[in-house]
Amino acid sequence: MRIAVCIKQVPDTAEVKINRETGTLVREGVPSIINPYDMHAIEAALGLRDALGGKVTAITMGPPQAEAALREAISMGVDDGLLVTGREFAGADTLATSRALSGAIRAIGADLIVCGKQAIDGDTAQVGPEVAEFLDIPHVSYVRKIIEAEIDHEARGSIKVERLMDEGVDVVQAELPALITVVRELNTPRLPSLRGKINAKKTEIKKLSAAEIGLTPEVVGFNGSPTQVKKIFTPAPRCGRRVLEGGLEEQVEALVKELMEKKCL
């Protein structure tokens, strides 16, 4: 099975602090990591490859330094890395990103595409389904379990999964080629192996520009993005904090009274 994993290099938002004076984010010293959901996507792809045979290619769109994310994926056992890169991709929203990624996937060919549910910097969860639409293939979001996958020598096959919904779980079967987006519950990502680390050093990362994917600069990056950021601001700080006093029983009594007054009960 040819599997493509879409990953994103993101700043570790857990490490980000806000400068209370200026109301801006302090990015200094914050490490770049593979988006945590994408780690589960990598693991899912590797698990399927180990069971069914085939090859896993990690794909990312980003600046030259995003190569580090691909090398990290290779150290976990991914076979190949593909970096979609170039100034023309800068300022891409989800639509322009999906267009570029789907172009790259089309260029290498894939039976299954695995993405993390969303990236922790943007939290949109849109790129996976949009890539599926650009490729005109089915997708299943929020996969929490892969029940079975099969593929024959003519690349006909299917994947059966459990999908996490707001009020329960659906069992969904998709025809291949298909795209799935995965949640954390799916698996535990493996650690890099020694052999993987050696591969990560020596594997050549293939780079693709917009022209090489067959896309003009007008449809990628900022120019190809229908959405624009009008402004960025920090949310208003919370107010109305109240420290409860007295012994535990009095505090609990005071809390219940406050909640009654606020009509919470």
Partner 1 sequence: MPLKVEKNVCSGCGACITVCPYDAIKMEGGKAEIGEYCQLCQACLTACAEGAIKEYKGDLEKPGQADLSAYKGVWVFAEQRGGKVAPVAFELLGEGGKLAGQRGVELCAVLFGATRQEARELVRRGADKVYFCDDEIFTNFEDEPNAGLLASLINEHRPEIVLAGATAIGRSFLPRVAARLKTGLTADCTGLEIEPETGNLIQTRPAYGGNIMASILSPGTRPQMATVRPKVMKPGRCDDSRQGEIIEVKAGEFRRSRAKVLASIREEEGAMKVNLQEADVIISGGRGLKGKEGFQMLRELAVLLGGTVGASRAAVDEGWIPYCHQVGQTGKTVAPKLYIACGISGAVQHLVGMQSSDIIVAINKNPEAPIFNVATYGIVGDLNEILPLLIRKLKERKNGR
Non-local CB neighbours of 185 within 8 Å, separated by 6+ positions: 144, 145, 164
CA atoms in the 13 A half-sphere facing the CB of 38: 27
- Residues numbered 187 to 226 that lie near partner 1 (CB under 8 A) are 218-219, 221-223, 225-226
Interacting residue with partner 1 among 21, 153, 204, 232 (CB under 8 A): 232
- Reported as type and span, the H/E element at residue 157 is strand 157-165
Chosen residue from 98, 105, 151, 199 binding partner 1 by CB under 8 A: 98
CB of 192 to partner 1, least distance (A): 21
Of residues 102 through 131, those in contact with partner 1 by CB under 8 A are 120-130
Structure tokens at 253: 């009594």
Sign of CA dihedral 86, 91, 93, 96: negative
20 binds partner 1 (CB under 8 A): no
Instruction: Indicate the SS3 state at residue 168.
Output: strand
As measured in angstroms, the least distance from the Cβ of 151 to partner 1 is 15
Write down the least CB distance from residue 87 to partner 1, Å. 5
Site track for partner 1 across 38-77, x = CB under 8 A: ------------------------xx-x------------
Measured from the CB of residue 202, what is the shortest distance to partner 1 in angstroms?
Answer: 26
CB of 98 to partner 1, least distance (A): 6
Rounded Cα distance, 26 and 35, in Å? 19
CB neighbours of 232 closer than 8 A, spacing ≥ 6? none
